[in-house]
């Protein structure tokens, strides 16, 4: 079982937040599996007290979930994060999000009440969609400072795997996340940059390449032979080379670059992998292939 690395600052805190129904419990369980000491729904006013009063061991890893259930004190969190970092604590802020329709469907399937329901009842009845919009507004400031993960189109197992992958990446420098996706299953909301490569030659129309992916050698060979593909890669590399250093100087912990084609199987996968390899020489890189991961999981089911 993977465990967190014990290097770096003596205390490593993952602050997990985001929309109700976006998978925070799943993410917290993944962190617990990795050996993190996990706390759910901690009131923000107790955050600094918890970290100062406990006799944490060197290398201790802590995960704390804070969300809209603490609506009255969420405004305290940005200043607390700044103070924690100034004191030498290594802090990662992760925000889980999902599209409104996805959240409504998940609440309908689980029949759970939205965490703002009691507050809404005191002010008059509100529809679920109104509470979701209010929650998003409450968390907007935290979202701006966090690494955002869009869970709209991924399964719980994919989210768990991604959380573990993120935690295993070194945190001493900015991490680049290269994500492939298919437009037919929706645009990922967690993109910092998104590139549409649907105009490139498509291996799907080559019968022998159709069942393969952008990680397979025959598909990669086909795409490397296309001048348009090479030009697209060159353009993206030049753009990122121009701006990544400035983003790192702006204290960004993660940058998510999404590459989209029609089905998320060939062109986007190949380019995401190529870009990750290219930038791995100077940055920490992580690859995600949204559609491929889903297909692989479904293929394993009996």
Q: What is the pLDDT of residues 137-190, one digit of tens each?
A: 999 999 998 999 999 988 898 999 999 988 887 766 789 999 999 999 889 999
Give every CB contact of residue 21 below 8 A, 6+ residues apart in sequence.
98, 102, 103, 106, 107, 110, 112
Domains of the chain, start order: 11-168 (3.40.50.300), 175-300 (no CATH)
What is the distance between the alpha carbons of residues 38 and 30, in angstroms, rounded to a whole number? 10
Q: Count of H helices and E strands in the chain?
A: 12, 9
Q: What is the pLDDT of residues 270-279, one digit of tens each?
A: 999 999 999 9
What is the distance between the alpha carbons of residues 193 and 175, in angstroms, rounded to a whole number? 14
Cβ neighbours around 61 below 10 Å, total: 22
Tokens coding 132: 């979701």
What is the distance between the alpha carbons of residues 98 and 105, in angstroms, rounded to a whole number? 11
Q: What is the pLDDT of residues 213-236, one digit of tens each?
A: 999 999 999 999 999 999 999 999
Exposure letters 109-142 (e unless 16+ CB within 10 A, then b): eeeeebbbeebbeeeeebebeebbebbbebbeeb
Cite the DSSP H helix spans in 3-99. Answer: 24-33, 47-53, 77-86
Give every CB contact of residue 207 below 8 A, 6+ residues apart in sequence.
none
Which long-range contacts does 167-170 make (Cβ < 8 Å, 24+ apart)?
167/4, 167/14, 167/31, 167/34, 168/2, 168/4, 168/5, 169/284, 169/286, 170/284
Q: What is the pLDDT of residue 115?
A: 85
E-assigned strand segments in 98-249: 147-150, 175-182, 193-196
Q: Between residues 236 and 48, which one has the greater pLDDT?
A: 236
Q: What is the pLDDT of residue 4?
A: 41
Q: Which of 164, 174, 176 is nearest to 61 (CA)?
A: 164
Poorest-confidence range of 5-9, 50-54, 88-92, 140-144?
5-9
Stated pTM of the model: 0.79
């Amino acid at each position: 079982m993977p465990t967190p690395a014990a290097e770096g600052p003596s205390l490593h805190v993952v602050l997990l937040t985001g929309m109700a129904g976006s998978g925070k419990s799943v993410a917290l369980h993944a962190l617990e599996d990795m050996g993190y000491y996990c706390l759910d729904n901690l009131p923000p006013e107790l955050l600094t007290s918890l970290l100062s009063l406990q006799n944490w061991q060197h290398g201790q890893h802590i995960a704390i979930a804070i969300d809209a259930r603490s609506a009255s004190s969420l405004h305290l969190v940005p200043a607390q994060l700044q103070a924690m970092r100034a004191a030498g604590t290594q802090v990662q802020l992760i925000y889980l999000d999902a599209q409104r329709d996805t959240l409504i469907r998940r609440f309908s399937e689980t029949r759970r009440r939205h965490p703002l329901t009691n507050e809404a009842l005191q002010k008059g009845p509100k529809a679920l969609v109104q509470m979701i919009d209010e929650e998003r507004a409450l968390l907007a400031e935290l979202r701006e400072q966090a690494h955002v993960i869009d869970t709209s189109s991924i399964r719980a197992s994919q989210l768990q795997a991604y959380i573990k992958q993120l935690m295993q990446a070194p945190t001493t420098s900015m991490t680049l996340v290269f994500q492939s996706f298919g437009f037919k299953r929706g645009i990922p909301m967690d993109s910092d940059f998104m590139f549409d490569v649907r105009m490139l030659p498509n291996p799907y129309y080559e019968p022998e390449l159709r069942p393969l992916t952008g990680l397979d050698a025959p598909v990669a060979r086909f795409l490397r032979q296309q001048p348009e593909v090479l030009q697209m890669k060159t353009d993206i590399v030049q753009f990122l080379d121009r701006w990544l250093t400035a983003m790192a100087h702006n204290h960004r912990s993660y940058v998510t670059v999404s590459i989209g084609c029609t089905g998320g199987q060939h062109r986007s996968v190949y380019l995401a992998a190529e870009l990750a390899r290219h930038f791995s020489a100077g940055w920490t890189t992580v690859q995600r292939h949204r559609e491929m991961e889903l297909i692989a999981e479904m293929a394993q089911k009996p």
